[in-house]
Amino acid sequence: MNQRTEFETRSTCCYCGVGCGMVIRSDGEKIISVEGDASHPANLGRLCTKGRTLPLTMANDGRALYPALRASRDEARQRVSWDVALDTAVNRFADIIEAHGPDSVAFYLSGQLLTEDYYVFNKLAKGLIGTANIDTNSRLCMSSAVMGYKKAFGADAPPGNYEDLELADLLIIAGSNMAYAHPVLFRRIEAAKQAHPEKRWIVIDPRRTDTAAMADLHLAINPGTDVALFNGMLHLLLWDGYADRRYIDASTTGFDDVKALVRDYTPKLVADICGIAEQDLILAAKWFGESKNVTSLYCMGLNQSVQGTDKNLALINLHLATAQIGRPGAGPFSLTGQPNAMGGREVGGMATMLAAHRDLQNPEHRAEMAKFWASDVIPSQPGLSAVGLFDAVKSGKVKAVWIACTNPVHSMPDQQLVEAALKNAEFVVLQEAFTTTDTAPFADLLLPATSWGEKEGSVTNSERRISRVRPAIAAPGETKGDWWIATQFAKRLEARLSPLSTGRFEYENTEAIFAEHCLTTEGRDLDISGLSYEILEAKGPQLWPFPKGATEGLARRYTDGQFETADGKAKFHAVRHLGTADKTSARFPFHLLTGRLRDQWHGMSRTGRVSQLLEHVASAAVSMNPSDMERRGIKAGQLLKVSNTRGAILLPVEASDELASGSIFIPMHWNTRFWSEAGVNRLTTAKVDPISFQPELKHAAVRVEVVDLPWQCVAARMGPTEIYLDNLGPLLKKVKFATVTLIGRETPAVLVQFADEKAPEGFIEALDAALSLEASEATQDYVDQAKQIYKRGRWENSQLTGFRLAGETKAAGWLGECVKQGGGWSWPRLQAFAPRATPPNGALTVSKTICNCVGVTDTAIKAAIEGGADFQTLQKELKCGTQCGSCVPEIKRMFLTQPATPVVV
């Protein structure tokens, strides 16, 4: 009998801030499957496409498995031992600190680190080295929300929890595409609305996203006009008598200034600024005023703006004025993006904070932490925050930088700045799980980290709920937990920098770190002194605060109208509309918007390994309103150069009526592994919000021009996709335009297309070598020297396993579909070389997968809708939308564009 032991491990998803609990099944060595944890309060058993496909990301190809070091910039990194790696890092850092002071080094971390990892790094920077130059990608993400909460309520973090989203009568969803970015939470509010159709949703987003398409009212505002909108709504609420004077008097200050300010924000003016109908504004205010419980959900559309903090505050004003806070179903709820954005804030792991929501500039707070950390070097001033940090590396003020669990060369605004900075740095350490990121080439020392399924610790999700992350399998290669790497470095650095006071980093495991972190929170707003691994083990994930003696966490804060400010009152803030940093002009007439796709995660180091996740959207494209295309004579599929003073990128255009005229959209994910360009951040601005220091990643002013590149080449190949992607890297740089994607479920393959003025010298040979498409018994060629057409097919066991079409590529679509579907080849081989866009007998349909879990295509869904099926029938017969539900909004939208054939009786 073939008996296999299966282990079950409870852990948490490593992607978004919903924080879904998972049960991981493994055989001890390999992860076999994952399932949503039905007992986890965040997801109650559900998972989205990204969470469900995590086991498919676990292969060792492309993983950073060993420490690697290079002696100089011209050399390749060589494998070294952990001892050599850590000692080198300590010597380089200590030499620089001794010569130039503690602020000559910096750490750039991530909201994807676990709380324990984060805690050690923060203690190491502020408590041992004595620098506050420790910032994280949360600066690009949550810092405006943090400042909004702190300024209004005196303390960070949302007042409510996920149940409030379901209890609300009105949901305001502002600058958030939850359907893509927080799918499982979106499933929960969808279900709540289905059960109570009288519940209302207002979605505020310049684009008609899948989230907006399901709203009762979609306010497609002009980019960057949220402050005007919220002020306009408050104007109407006050005018119509919806203000709660008792609450305002008892629990807030600053109302009169705001009242005076919003007097100017008349409906007509606001409708003009926002580019919406006055009636819609009036309706939005009316619904806000008359609803019993209002919850506002918001994300990057508010935060990533030079007015990010103001946008948060203007929205919070609405809640304070109407007392929509501190009750079930009521309150402003910032959705966190990364799995541990909250944990990072709790340990104070950023340049502007100290541990446990303390402030660096507060002497009492510093004294408390000095005691905890036995440290006399805690800085009294904030350090450099993300953009400023890389600026300082560029100028040479900061000489060594330690990057962990983030890919700044891709994700920071104005990419050129970060590249220039890292080129100029004396020493760059990168702590990564994969070798394939755009930051990896800049690392002098690469430290291999364990990742999801392998690492241990805890995270806090959007609703302040702390969950355990547990390893299901052993660490591959010589990878180590991030906490371990930070601790080992700290111990050695301590011995060198302060040999008289060693022993502050003697942690045996993550549990010991968590226990120390809990102690630092005692008496603070986020008090978790009553929490431990033991309790999390026994009782499952817990909300904070959870003080000593508590039996459960606090569901809602500020229920008594008391806030964390000095006088206990919440603060109104009178904030004016200023708009975006980049203004559109005759030279740069388009608003470029950036954001997320449903099935990709940031720089794609993990999601880009799974062909299923590239089925929904295969490769880089810019979306544009059809009327703008028509006016400019642009056709779908043409290449556009999108540019401004910072840079230029080339990509195909697709028509989308999700965009208003005058706006275009490019997803943030695409990078040099999948594209000839470095990413949309070539074009974004490094301008930041003056309060939160968060950059305006959501918007840039650009122009577009059609570019015609006559030489085309398309190739596909089944096989080891990570290796093929590695091989293709240099080729993507040799042409003006290229995109790569993964196709195929059973046997994954790469599909790559190139375009240029003419074929670069030796290109076709190099491409064949990169994809193992060299001439052999399995291949057949078609060559037309005169026309410069070079075609090759590769067949194994009467299956098309690869092809390369150069000079003429009409058949690429259906040949690609053959490789993707992996079925038998039923034509004479030479048919592959005919310049025809469809297969000889038309039997092969080219379609797009909509439901990823079951693998249902748009063709199948359209056919069923045409056949008169309703949504429930689709679910029953095709099974689409029955698993994770991520595709439900899109399927529902297909009913609108695809009216069912009327039944004639």
Q: Which of 181, 740, 812, 894 binds ligand MGD (CB under 6 A)?
A: 181
Strands of 85-175, DSSP E = 105-109, 134-136, 170-174
From the CB of 48, what's the least distance to ligand MGD, in Å? 8
Strands 663-667 and 590-595, sheet pairing? parallel
Residue of 21, 67, 224, 337 that binds Mo ion (CB under 5 A): 337
Q: Does 47 bind ligand SF4 (CB under 6 A)?
A: yes
Work out whether 613 is an interface residue with ligand SF4 (CB under 6 A). no
Return the number of other C-beta atoms located less than 10 Å from residue 4's C-beta.
Answer: 8
User: Minimal distance in Å, beta carbon 47 to ligand SF4?
Assistant: 4
Among residues 520 and 605, whose Cβ is nearest to ligand MGD?
A: 605
Nearer to ligand SF4, 54 or 660 (CB): 54
Task: Using the minimum distance from each CB to ligand SF4, give the nearer residue, 100 or 193.
Answer: 193
Complex with ligand SF4: residue 16 or 401, whichever CB lies closer: 16
Among positions 10, 20, 531, 697, the unique one binding ligand SF4 when judged by CB under 6 A: 20
Nearer to ligand MGD, 679 or 802 (CB): 679
Stretch that binds Mo ion, among 133-141, 166-174, 445-453, 876-884 (CB under 5 A): 133-141
215 is a contact residue toward ligand SF4 (CB under 6 A) = no
CB of 12 to ligand SF4, least distance (A): 7
Please state the closest distance from residue 57 (CB atom) to ligand MGD, in A: 10
> With CB cut-offs between 5 and 8 Å by kind, which of Mo ion, ligand SF4, ligand MGD, none does residue 695 bind?
none
> Listing from the earlier edge strand, what are the strands of the sheet with 737-743?
737-743, 749-756, 711-718, 799-806, 789-796, 779-784
Per-residue HEC secondary structure of 64-78 comes to CCCCEECCCCCCCCE
Does the protein bind ligand MGD through residue 451 (CB under 6 A)? Answer: yes
Binding partner at 184 among Mo ion, ligand SF4, ligand MGD, none, C-beta below 5 to 8 Å by kind: ligand SF4
Nearer to ligand SF4 by Cβ, of 34 and 323: the residue is 34
**Residues ≥6 apart with Cβ < 8 Å to 785:** none
Stretch that binds ligand SF4, among 41-49, 313-321, 628-636, 818-826 (CB under 6 A): 41-49
Q: List the one residue out of 228, 300, 142, 150 whose CA is nearest residue 693.
A: 142
Distance CA 512, CA 496 (A): 24
Dihedral angle of Cα 723, 414, 386, 331, to the nearest 10 degrees = -100
Binding status of residue 289 toward Mo ion by CB under 5 A? no
At 213, phi and psi to the nearest 5? -65, -20
Whether 676 contacts 733, CB under 8 Å = yes
Tabulate helix, strand, coil % of the chain (nearest 5).
35, 20, 45
**Selected binder of ligand MGD within 598, 616, 703, 820 (CB under 6 A):** 598
Binding status of residue 744 toward ligand SF4 by CB under 6 A: no
The whole-angstrom separation of Cα 714 and Cα 704 is 25
124 DSSP 8-state letter: I
Q: Show the binding pattern over residues 285-304: x = contacts ligand MGD (CB under 6 A), - = does not.
A: --------------xxx--x
636 to each of 117, 625, 800, how far by Cα in Å?
47, 11, 29
Site of tokens 């949901």 = 171
Of these, 682, 698, 804, 820, which contacts ligand MGD (CB under 6 A)?
698
| Structural contact between residues 345 and 353, judged by C-beta atoms closer than 8 angstroms | yes
With CB under 6 A as the contact rule, which of the stretches 255-263, 398-406, 487-495, 628-636 interacts with ligand MGD? 398-406
**What's the length of the chain?**
905
Taking contact as CB under 5 A, which single stretch among the options 169-177, 332-340, 712-720, 813-821 is the one that binds Mo ion? 332-340
Positive or negative, the CA dihedral 595, 601, 607, 612 is negative
141 lies in the site for Mo ion, by CB under 5 A: yes
- Of the chain, the end-to-end C-alpha distance in Å amounts to 60
Q: What angle (nearest 5°) sits at the alpha carbon of residue 189, between those of residues 294 and 540?
A: 105
Residue 786 makes CB contacts below 8 A (sequence gap 6+) with: none
CA 287 to chain centroid = 31
List binders of ligand MGD among 326-385 (CB under 6 A): 337-338
Minimum CB separation from ligand MGD for residue 700, in Å? Answer: 9
Helix axes 763-770, 721-734, angle to 10 degrees: 160
Cβ-closest residue to ligand MGD? Answer: 337
Report in angstroms how near the CB of residue 337 gets to Mo ion at its nearest. 3
DSSP character at residue 222: P
Residue with tokens 């241990």: 456
Give yes or no for residue 885 binding ligand SF4 (CB under 6 A).
Answer: no
DSSP codes, 224-269: T-HHHHHHHHHHHHHHTT---HHHHHHHEE-HHHHHHHHTT--HHH
Q: How far is residue 377 from each of residues 7, 402, 490, measured CA to CA in Å? A: 46, 20, 15
User: Applying CB under 6 A, does 302 fall inside the site for ligand SF4?
Assistant: no
Closest to ligand MGD by CB, 66 or 180: 180
Contact with ligand MGD (CB under 6 A) among 309, 312, 487, 594? 594
Residue 509 C-beta: closest distance to ligand MGD, Å: 17
Q: Counting contacts by CB under 6 A, is residue 624 touching ligand SF4?
A: no
Quick one: which segment of 42-50, 546-554, 590-598, 616-624 binds ligand SF4 (CB under 6 A)? Answer: 42-50
Q: How far is CA 300 from the centre of its chain?
A: 10
Interaction of residue 602 with ligand MGD, rule CB under 6 A = yes
- Determine phi and psi for 402, rounding to 5 degrees: -110, 115
Query: Which listed option, ligand MGD, ligand SF4, Mo ion, none, makes contact with residue 19 (CB within 5 to 8 Å by class)?
Result: ligand SF4
H or E element in which residue 381 lies: none
Measure CA 425 to chain center. Answer: 27
Cβ atoms < 10 Å from Cβ of 579: 17
Number of residues that bind Mo ion (CB under 5 A): 2
Q: Residue 92: left (phi > 0), alpha (psi -120 to 50), or beta?
A: alpha
Q: From CA 121, how far away is CA 355, in angstroms rounded? A: 11
How many residues of this chain interact with ligand SF4, rule: CB under 6 A?
13
Whose Cβ is closer to ligand MGD: residue 394's or residue 596's? 596
CA distance 771 to 773: 5
Of 457-465, 625-633, 679-687, 841-849, the window that binds ligand MGD (rule: CB under 6 A) is 679-687
Largest CA distance in the chain: 92
Q: Segment near ligand SF4 (CB under 6 A), from 47-55, 521-529, 577-585, 767-775?
A: 47-55
774-813 footprint of ligand MGD as x/- string (CB under 6 A): ----------------------------------------
What would the x/- binding string for ligand MGD be over residues 657 to 676, using CB under 6 A? -----------x--------
User: Nearer to ligand SF4 by C-beta: 49 or 487?
Assistant: 49
The DSSP call for residue 441 is G
Q: Which of 19, 67, 329, 603 binds ligand MGD (CB under 6 A)?
A: 603
DSSP letter (8 states) at residue 834: S
- Site residues (vs Mo ion, CB under 5 A): 141, 337
- The residues of the shown chain that bind ligand SF4, judged by CB under 6 A, are 13, 15-16, 18-20, 43, 47-48, 50-51, 183-184
Which residues sit at the interface with ligand MGD, rule CB under 6 A? 16, 110, 112, 137, 140-141, 174-177, 180-181, 204-207, 209, 223-224, 226, 299-301, 304, 337-338, 404-408, 410-411, 431-434, 437, 449, 451, 455, 482, 593-596, 598, 600-603, 605, 668, 680-681, 684, 697-699
